[in-house]
Amino acid sequence: MSDAPDAMPRPRLWSWNLSPFAGKARIALAIRGIEVELIEIDPVARPPRLAEINPANRVPVLEVGDRAITQSTAICEWAQETGTGPSLWPEDPIARAQARGLLRWVEDEIVTNFFLSMRKQVFGLDEAHDHPNLIANLRGALGKRWRPLDRMLTATDGPWLAGGADPSLADLAAMPVAVRLPQWLPDLAPDPVTVPAAAAWLAALSDHPAAVEVDRSGQPLAG
């Protein structure tokens, strides 16, 4: 009889197909070669178990054994440290630190402006807190981000924000936008004539093999 310990159960990722942050976690785990059991929640009827493992009652959450990792970037960092696939960050320490700063910009200025506008369109404004023009303001802000993004991309030695041949997490975080924007709001896409690098960046993300993770759904689990 072997004295080897039992293998750890496959990690479980609590997810929602349309969440860009759950999508980011799915993408990072897939790139790093980590197989997970995917649990699909209904955001309108969230299972009680979700609040037990994440007091914020939000996805993504990664259960590894009897412990839970919350927040998409923390899950991606676990994948970076645990997986064996292509790295999510540049090897150079300065480039890696720059990429981490760019990740914050991409999520604040591109991902949030797009997906929050869609969320407010579908689920409605909070009349007590939201400005009546919030959706238009978010989409207007998104449109104004293509030019600075284009400048950042043209300053690198490749198609990605941190340069190099492979996308970093700063790029991959925008993959849900690259897939959903042409489907939902094509008129907001960057103009390939005026901001060609930004348009090419989104196209490269959409064509990346990991983009299939954006549409991946798990086993439904309702509240």
Note whether 29 and 114 are same-domain residues.
no
Residue 184 lies in a domain: yes
Strand partners, 69: 62
Note whether 67 and 156 are same-domain residues.
no
Residue 192 lies in a domain: yes
Using the Cα atoms of residue 138, residue 75, residue 81 and residue 203 in order, give the sign of their dihedral.
negative
Note whether 187 and 140 are same-domain residues.
yes
Note whether 57 and 119 are same-domain residues.
no
Residues 6+ apart with CB under 8 A from 36: 10, 11, 12, 13, 29, 62
How far is it, in rounded angstroms, from Cα 37 to Cα 33? Answer: 13
What 3-state class would DSSP assign to 219? strand
pTM over the 0.85 mark: yes
Residue 16 lies in a domain: yes
Note whether 106 and 71 are same-domain residues.
no
Domain of 56: which CATH number?
Answer: 3.40.30.10
Note whether 132 and 69 are same-domain residues.
no
For the residues 207-221, what does the mean pLDDT come to? 92
Residue 222 is predicted with a pLDDT of 64
Note whether 66 and 102 are same-domain residues.
no
Note whether 108 and 189 are same-domain residues.
yes
What's the domain range around 185?
93-211
Compute the mean pLDDT over every residue in the chain, rounded to the nearest whole number. 94
Domain of 146: which CATH number?
Answer: 1.20.1050.10
Separation of CA 74 from chain center: 12
For residue 174, name the pLDDT band (cuts at 50, 70, 90): very high
Note whether 16 and 79 are same-domain residues.
yes
Residue 4 lies in a domain: no
Note whether 206 and 217 are same-domain residues.
no
> How many domains, the chain?
2
pLDDT for residue 158 is more than 80: no
**For residue 132, what are the CA distances in angstroms to 75, 110, 114, 120, 140?**
35, 21, 17, 11, 14
For the residues 81-91, what does the mean pLDDT come to? 96
Separation of CA 96 from chain center: 18
How far is it, in rounded angstroms, from Cα 11 to Cα 38? Answer: 9
Note whether 73 and 102 are same-domain residues.
no
Note whether 121 and 180 are same-domain residues.
yes
Residue 166 lies in a domain: yes
Residue 223 is predicted with a pLDDT of 62
pLDDT tens, residue by residue, 6-53: 566 799 999 999 999 999 999 999 999 999 999 999 999 999 999 999
